[in-house]
Structure 1
Amino acid sequence: QPPTQPGYGYPQAQPPTQPGYGFPQQGQPPTQPGHGFPQGQPPTQPGYGFPQQGQPPTQPGHGFPQGQPPTQPGYGFPQQGQQQPYGYPTAPMQPAAPYPPQPGGNGQKKFSTQAQIIVAAVVAVALIVGGGIWYASKDGDDKKDEAGSSAGTTGENKGGNGGGKDGGSTGGGGKEKAPANVESTVGFQLPQPKVTDVTTVSGSWVTDKAYVKTGVNEIVGYDLDKGTKLWSIPLEGQLCAASEHMSKDFKTAIAFEETKRSKTTKYAACNRIGALDLATGKLMWSKQVTASSSGDSAVRFDEVTVSGNTVAAGGNDGGAAFKLDTGAELWKPKVSTDGCYDKGYGGGEALAVVRKCGSYDDPQLIIQALNPTTGAPISSYKMPPGVDYASIVSTKPLVVAADVGDTAGDGSGISDFFSIDEATGKLKIRISADAEKYAANCRSTKVESCQHLAVGNNRIYLPTEEHDGTDESISRTNEIVSFDLTTGKQTGDRADAGEKFTMFPLRMDGGNIIAYREPPYDKGGEIVSIDGSTFKQTVLMRNPADEAIRDAETSFSSDYAEFRYEQGRFFISETMISAPRKSTYDDKEYLVVSFRTS
């Protein structure tokens, strides 16, 4: 879910303004600023895959040419050297390098012995200098506000009860049930299409009849079990953003480039919004928007979402919205006297926006719950100083993530969660989420991009960072824990991944949490349902331990992949592909890998 901004973390030593998505090549004039953009500044930030110059590499955004995510041996694989202790400050999750991410997953082959020794040596020295293992909560004293704040606890609670006086009703109501036989088989595997440059392929949906995935200049529907092509929706240009939300009758929205890429046009403008009917495999409509402040130039968009019958798209030119069924325009960017514009929207059960005001050097972010038909604000909450970017985790309840003052330090884009009353705009509680303990992440410059977490039962569910296991052999593991969205306190919820496994939430299923257990070097991954009341885990799917199948499953980096589990079928897919890489391992590169239970 993660596409046009510099990426995790705030760009360092960055020029005051940057070119927008599809910005003309050097020697061509830029377009005019969009909706309410601060005056006297060039219009937009770097767009999908636009080569940036004059600034040091930063954590790349979704769609930007990115460095290879760190690859490690499979969890539980015997490793040389000393392991990093649980709670010790970790390295950034994504390196900043101008290359696309490469598959690696948890496969042990890609992390050399020499690299392991170097990492172990660095950790050992750091431990000596630091005087041991630090695993303590931040005191949060510098993060007080009118509603108070709550620092994350050490997670020592072993209880499995998700209920209690602080939370509302929890658990139950899930549709996903364990089959008689949880052992899965491979459904299908799709190879990556051949491309010559970094290409965004985010967007995957599961309907009652098809698994739908973005390809090259098309959206393709595949048979759920066989993977045979059912239909294809051709696009005028490559997809650049996709909503993760669908209507009940399988309609969704995308943003795509105005023309196909070529040797002379490597990066086209992301300025078309379209609605897809995934039940019939049709493009219902597509639109461009011309803003009053941009003359004849079409507004560029960074992301798109769906809430009810509203499609909302935002970016540095401002925000626009349309009716999902007809494409009728609901609103579009306009000049703002207060210097504000809609940066991006969060959809799903409700519609919310991150509105950016102020100057580039001193931005002010406002979170608003919106009327999805008119765009009128229902409530507003002003984010505290030191917040340059914010991500909407959930719209109902309204939960926002931010890296306040760039204090996370790990590239996750999260130092705090803000639980906001969507009706009044009042802050319920601010939850400090120590980046050294919790492993969720948001592409901070994209509004709707958070991964590896879930919101439900008036709680936010987070994975802990991986840490040493209890096995005599060197192994890694972690847990899923939760915080109450009213009190901000950590609850007694705790689900252990198990020795050599790590796990993270995929989504809510009624009051239950669907989670993926990433496999070690000698087992297959698992899908589990965690009861929201008891936190008891039920295995829904166990994938094969066969080496070739396991290598395919772990060839994806979890930070750059989409995971979809529905009714006994599990799909893992890439969000970005690039030209075939040269590797001494001759590894296969997949667009999609799927599993199914009988």
Structure 2
Amino acid sequence: MSFGPAPSMYTQSALAADETRKRRRRRVLGAAAAAVTAVAVCVGGWLLWPGGKAQGTGTPAAARQAPDDIRATVEKRPASPEGQPVVEHGEKDLPKATDTQPLYAPGTWATGKILAKGIARRIEGYKITPKYDEKAWTLELGGHICATSRHVTADGRTAVVIQPPRPEGTAKKGVCDQVVFFDLNTGKKLWQKKMPEAGSAYVTNTNLTLAKGVVAIAWGSGSVAYDMKDGKQLWNGTSAAQCADQGFAGGRALLALQVCGQRPDVTYRVQRLDPRTGKPQWTYRVARGVQAVYLPSSEPPVLAVAAGDSMVTDLITLDGRGKHRATISLDGYEAKCGTRNFSSSFFGVVENCDGMVVGRTQAYVTSKENIAINQPSNWIVAFDLKTGRTQGKFEGRWLQMVHPLRMSGDDLLIYRRAGVLTPAAVVSWNPRTDKETPYLLFTLPEDDEFDLSDPEQSDIVVEQGRVFFARRELARDEEDPKASVLMVIGYGSAGLAH
């Protein structure tokens, strides 16, 4: 597989990823040994749900959305939380890959009928049908996927940026300069456009997002936006500007992250843009000394910043006019911004903070792992966006880490990993009442549970009563090269939703 910028840049990213993998493996082996010892001395039983009752969420029904709105599904509580497989697909005859050159599988999206998965140069759609592995469609892209977005329109459309094939040795080998907009339910390509002046767009710097009716892409030295309806170009930015667009955050609004000046003396600013014209509606200037900025939420606007460190240290919340509201220290927390693909900046990182979710009035952030025996392995804390104060805490369990997934109305959907005697679960947490509601209980395949449960390695998507787990990288079993490798698995309720 060959894609990325000039070999020197890609090689450095790959070597760093390789070293991160080695550190993670050492940590996993140590944690497994500690868990075995702890289980041996553990006494007592487990309650599946504290108090033995499932509590109602009080989540309001979703407002009706227009087709080109960005989807914001409010989940219905299943009649039964008992889960059953609804999708399970493995890839066979994988090519030989190494830690520094794996087979990438970026992008996972779900509708009520289809689970769609990106893999190398194509996207495949699988029917959501219990006990069957049935492929509904395949969309051949003609080039490797370079950037994806988690956003989907209300009627089930999304986009990817691809790297068109070019002869070896050509000047533009590795350039990611085409965007494809497609329908998730049918696999139909709706339009494909060549991005203007995108000769420096690579897998390491290209970011893609969706806002109402608009697809927007930025690559650090340029940007462009298209109309979802027909692919007509709406506006574009160039590197000639004093501050260049590094990436966008979409959803309910469109924010631009801009870099001003030349490295190492650069500063950042964030602008809210009119999606149709690209004109700024307000500008927030980030303080000097910040090394990186991420945009986990466009509305309400929230920035995750690395101040004096390479990892995120603080959240900055803004009001609707771009004015500072609060700064939240993340000492002891892991927002997990820019940590996908073993901290390689592939496939778009500006919006991806897998350790946190932003709601209408609160930000929910995961704590660092706690290795103490018979104590919660981690927890999720709710911070008030206006004051920055803590407003609630959802605890995991011993050997059962919890991960925030997304909002469902004003409730938070949480994935809780399996324990020694308890299954994995998706639950809903109402931070106003501190009540927990079970949505789905299920058991992931034992050999795949660790990778699939790690949000830094796999996509975890909840949509319309189901949860899906999908690897972002695939590697064959060298002892059995032709064996099928599990790529995606999903669970739905064995009962009917009400």
**TM-score per shorter chain, which class?**
0.7 to 0.9
Contact 2:382 2:431 in 1 (8 A): no
User: In the alignment, residue 173 of structure 1 is paired with which amino acid?
Assistant: P
Q: Secondary structure at the match of 1:554?
A: helix
User: In the alignment, residue 5 of structure 2 is paired with which amino acid?
Assistant: F
Measured against aligned partners, the alpha-carbon deviations of 1:540-593 in whole angstroms (never above 9, x if no partner) come to: 111138xxx233333433312100122332110012234x25479x99732112
In terms of mean alpha carbon deviation, does 212-221 or 256-265 score higher? 256-265
Contact 1:393 1:400 in 2 (8 A): yes
Check if 1:376 corresponds to 2:279. yes
CA–CA distance in structure 1, aligned partners of residues 492 and 58 of structure 2: 25
Distance 1:68 1:327, change over 3 A: farther
Aligned to 2:70: none
Check if 1:67 corresponds to 2:27. no
Check if 1:23 corresponds to 2:5. yes
Correspondent of 2:227 among 306, 311, 323? 323
Contact 2:300 2:360 in 1 (8 A): no
Distance 1:583 1:303, change over 3 A: farther
Measured against aligned partners, the alpha-carbon deviations of 1:286-312 in whole angstroms (never above 9, x if no partner) come to: 111232xx7xx4755612110011111
User: In the alignment, residue 299 of structure 2 is paired with which amino acid?
Assistant: K
Note the C-alpha offset of 1:477. Answer: 1.9
Correspondent of 1:442 among 337, 353, 357? 337
Contact 1:249 1:279 in 2 (8 A): no
In terms of mean alpha carbon deviation, does 235-244 or 556-565 score higher? 556-565
Contact 1:290 1:298 in 2 (8 A): no
Note the C-alpha offset of 1:259. Answer: 1.3
Contact 2:221 2:239 in 1 (8 A): no
CA–CA distance in structure 1, aligned partners of residues 464 and 472 of structure 2: 23
CA–CA distance in structure 2, aligned partners of residues 429 and 342 of structure 1: 25
Q: Secondary structure at the match of 1:270?
A: coil
Check if 1:222 corresponds to 2:91. no
CA–CA distance in structure 2, aligned partners of residues 399 and 523 of structure 1: 35
Distance 1:307 1:582, change over 3 A: same
Check if 1:509 corresponds to 2:464. no
Check if 1:52 corresponds to 2:12. yes
Contact 1:204 1:214 in 2 (8 A): yes
Measured against aligned partners, the alpha-carbon deviations of 1:264-287 in whole angstroms (never above 9, x if no partner) come to: 999732211111111321111111
Aligned to 2:181: 275
Q: Secondary structure at the match of 1:331?
A: strand
Note the C-alpha offset of 1:469. Answer: 5.4
User: In the alignment, residue 70 of structure 1 is paired with which amino acid?
Assistant: R
CA–CA distance in structure 2, aligned partners of residues 383 and 315 of structure 1: 20
Distance 1:417 1:189, change over 3 A: same
Note the C-alpha offset of 1:419. Answer: 0.4
User: In the alignment, residue 87 of structure 2 is paired with which amino acid?
Assistant: F
Aligned to 1:392: 295
In terms of mean alpha carbon deviation, does 194-203 or 524-533 score higher? 194-203
Aligned to 2:47: none
Correspondent of 1:531 among 410, 426, 430? 430
CA–CA distance in structure 2, aligned partners of residues 171 and 74 of structure 1: 42
Aligned to 1:572: 469
CA–CA distance in structure 2, aligned partners of residues 401 and 261 of structure 1: 40
CA–CA distance in structure 1, aligned partners of residues 225 and 479 of structure 2: 44
CA–CA distance in structure 1, aligned partners of residues 377 and 282 of structure 2: 41
Contact 1:387 1:403 in 2 (8 A): yes
Aligned to 2:82: 183
Aligned to 2:388: 488
Correspondent of 1:415 among 301, 313, 318? 313
Note the C-alpha offset of 1:180. Answer: 3.3
CA–CA distance in structure 1, aligned partners of residues 278 and 19 of structure 2: 34
Note the C-alpha offset of 1:184. Answer: 1.5
Distance 1:419 1:304, change over 3 A: same
Distance 1:359 1:171, change over 3 A: farther
Q: Secondary structure at the match of 1:384?
A: coil
Measured against aligned partners, the alpha-carbon deviations of 1:129-175 in whole angstroms (never above 9, x if no partner) come to: xxxxxxxxxxxxxxxxxxxxxxxxxxxxxxxxxxxxxxxxx962263
Measured against aligned partners, the alpha-carbon deviations of 1:302-352 in whole angstroms (never above 9, x if no partner) come to: 1211001111111122211111121111122324352x2100000111000
Aligned length: 444
Measured against aligned partners, the alpha-carbon deviations of 1:27-57 in whole angstroms (never above 9, x if no partner) come to: xxxxxxxxxxxxxxxxxxx4xxx2239xx95
Q: Which has the higher contact order (CA 8 A, sep 6+)?
A: 1
Q: What is the root-mean-square deviation in Å for CA atoms of aligned residues?
A: 3.3
Distance 1:537 1:180, change over 3 A: same
Measured against aligned partners, the alpha-carbon deviations of 1:498-522 in whole angstroms (never above 9, x if no partner) come to: 3331101100000110000012355
Aligned to 1:593: 489
CA–CA distance in structure 1, aligned partners of residues 29 and 58 of structure 2: 32
- Structure 2 residues without counterparts, runs of 5 or longer: 40-56, 62-73, 340-344
Note the C-alpha offset of 1:76. Answer: 9.0
Aligned to 1:167: none
Q: TM-score normalised to the size of structure 2?
A: 0.80
Note the C-alpha offset of 1:356. Answer: 0.5
Aligned to 1:367: 270
Distance 1:187 1:335, change over 3 A: closer
Contact 2:149 2:209 in 1 (8 A): yes
In terms of mean alpha carbon deviation, does 510-519 or 496-505 score higher? 496-505
Contact 1:212 1:221 in 2 (8 A): yes
Distance 1:264 1:201, change over 3 A: farther
Check if 1:341 corresponds to 2:275. no
User: In the alignment, residue 334 of structure 2 is paired with which amino acid?
Assistant: A
Note the C-alpha offset of 1:223. Answer: 0.6
CA–CA distance in structure 1, aligned partners of residues 31 and 292 of structure 2: 36
Distance 1:337 1:323, change over 3 A: closer
User: In the alignment, residue 443 of structure 2 is paired with which amino acid?
Assistant: P
CA–CA distance in structure 1, aligned partners of residues 419 and 169 of structure 2: 42
Check if 1:257 corresponds to 2:163. yes
Distance 1:560 1:362, change over 3 A: same
More strand per residue:
2
- Structure 1 residues without counterparts, runs of 5 or longer: 1-20, 27-45, 84-107, 109-169
Aligned to 1:498: 397
Contact 2:426 2:440 in 1 (8 A): yes
CA–CA distance in structure 1, aligned partners of residues 177 and 381 of structure 2: 40
User: In the alignment, residue 344 of structure 1 is paired with which amino acid?
Assistant: G
CA–CA distance in structure 1, aligned partners of residues 351 and 241 of structure 2: 26
